[in-house]
Amino acid sequence: MAKKTKSNEIKRQLDDKTHISLAGEVVDKQITDTIEENFMPYAMSIILSRAIPAIDGFKPSQRKILYTMYKIGLLNSGRVKSTNIVGEVMKLNPHGDAAIYDAMVRLSRGYEALLHPYVDSKGSFGKAYSKNIVCAASRYTEAKLDKICTELFSDIDKDAVDMVDNYDNTKKEPVLLPVTFPSILVNPNIGIAAGMASAVCSFNLEEICNATVLLLKNPHADIYDALPAPDFSGGGILLYDRAAIEEIYTNGRGRIKVRARYEFDKANNCIEVKEIPPTTTVEDIIDKVIEKVKDGKFREINDIRDETDIKGLKIAIDVKRGTDPDKLMSRLYASTPLESAFNANFNILVNGYPRVMGVTEILNEWIAFRMECIRRRTSFDLKRAKDRLHLLRGLEKILLDIDKAISIIRNTDEESEVVPNLMIGFRIDKTQAEYVAEIKLRHLNKEYILKRLQDIEKLEAAIKDFEEILENPGRIKRIISFELKEVVKKYAKPRKTEISYSYDTEVEEEEEEVPDYPVTLFFTKEGYFKKVTPQSLRMSNAHKFKDGDYIAQTVETTNSKEILFFTNQCQVYKTRADAFDDTKISVMGDFVAAKLEMDEGELPVYMTVTNKDYKGFMMFFFENGKVAKVPLESYKTLTNRKKLIKAYSDKSPLVDILYIPEDTEVVLVSSSGRHLLVNTAVINPKTTKDTAGVNVISLSHKKGHRLLKARLYSEGEFAKPYRFRSKNLPAAGALLSADDTSEQVTF
271-285 residue pLDDT tens? 999 999 999 999 999
Instruction: Tell me the average pLDDT across 284-307.
Output: 89
Q: What is the pLDDT of residue 573?
A: 92
- Catalytic site residue from 140, 167, 501, 517: 140
Asked if the model's pLDDT at residue 620 lies above 90, the reply is: yes
Domain residue ranges in the chain: 46-179, 261-337, 382-471, 514-612, 620-626+651-747
Asked if the model's pLDDT at residue 633 lies above 70, the reply is: yes
Fold of 382-471: Topoisomerase; domain 3 (1.10.268)
Residues 256/199, Cβ–Cβ less than 8 Å: no
3-state secondary structure of 135: strand
Asked if the model's pLDDT at residue 490 lies above 80, the reply is: yes
The tally of CA atoms less than 13 A away on the side-chain side of residue 420 is 6
Q: Specify the DSSP class assigned to residue 501.
A: S
CA 530 to chain centre: 45
What digits encode the pLDDT tens for the residues 392-428? 888 888 777 878 888 888 888 888 888 898 888 888 8
Q: How far apart are the first and last CA of the chain?
A: 110
Lowest mean pLDDT among 16-30, 393-407, 428-442: 16-30
Fold of 46-179: Topoisomerase II; domain 5 (3.90.199)
What digits encode the pLDDT tens for the residues 36-52? 777 777 778 777 778 89
Q: Specify the DSSP class assigned to residue 587.
A: S
Instruction: Tell me the average pLDDT across 195-218.
Output: 94
Query: Which backbone phi and psi does 350 adopt, to 5 degrees?
Result: -130, 115
Asked if the model's pLDDT at residue 747 lies above 50, the reply is: no
* Buried-exposed string 255-267: b where 16+ CB fall within 10 A, e elsewhere: ebbbbbbbebeee
The CA distance from 406 to 722, in Å, is: 139
What digits encode the pLDDT tens for the residues 240-254? 999 999 999 999 999
The CA distance from 317 to 22, in Å, is: 68
Residues 318/303, Cβ–Cβ less than 8 Å: yes
Asked if the model's pLDDT at residue 218 lies above 50, the reply is: yes
Residue of higher predicted confidence among 33 and 205: 205
Residue 151 CB partners (closer than 8 Å, separation 6+): 179, 180, 181, 487, 491
Asked if the model's pLDDT at residue 443 lies above 90, the reply is: no
Asked if the model's pLDDT at residue 509 lies above 50, the reply is: no
Residue 255 CB partners (closer than 8 Å, separation 6+): 244, 341, 342, 343, 344
The CA distance from 547 to 544, in Å, is: 9
DSSP string computed for 433-456: HHHHHTS-GGG-SHHHHHHHHTHH
Q: Indicate if 140 belongs to the active site.
A: yes
pLDDT band at 333 (very low <50, low <70, confident <90, very high): very high
Which helix (H) or strand (E) covers residue 301, if one does?
strand 301-306
Q: Which amino acid is at 245?
A: I
The CA distance from 368 to 360, in Å, is: 13
In this structure, the strands spanning 518-524 and 498-500 are unpaired
What digits encode the pLDDT tens for the residues 584-618? 888 888 999 998 888 888 999 999 999 878 899 99
The residues facing 191 across adjacent strands are: 198
Asked if the model's pLDDT at residue 13 lies above 80, the reply is: no
What digits encode the pLDDT tens for the residues 358-376? 999 999 999 999 999 999 9
Which helix (H) or strand (E) covers residue 678, if one does?
strand 674-679
Asked if the model's pLDDT at residue 716 lies above 60, the reply is: yes
CATH of region 261-337: 3.30.1360.40
What digits encode the pLDDT tens for the residues 130-173? 999 999 999 999 999 999 999 999 999 999 999 999 988 899 99
Q: What is the pLDDT of residue 745?
A: 45
Lowest mean pLDDT among 11-25, 322-336, 469-483, 652-666: 11-25
The residues facing 524 across adjacent strands are: 551
The CA distance from 80 to 42, in Å, is: 35
The CA distance from 330 to 271, in Å, is: 13
CA-nearest of 284, 186, 251, 725 to 493 is 186
Q: What is the pLDDT of residue 454?
A: 81
Fold match flag (46-179 vs 382-471): no
The CA distance from 548 to 526, in Å, is: 9
Cis amide prior to 730 (ω within 30 degrees): yes
Rounded (to 5) percent helix, strand, coil in the chain: 35, 20, 40
The CA distance from 302 to 190, in Å, is: 37
DSSP string computed for 599-615: PTT--EEEEEEE-TT--
Asked if the model's pLDDT at residue 86 lies above 50, the reply is: yes
Instruction: Tell me the average pLDDT across 655-684.
Output: 91
Q: What is the pLDDT of residue 746?
A: 40
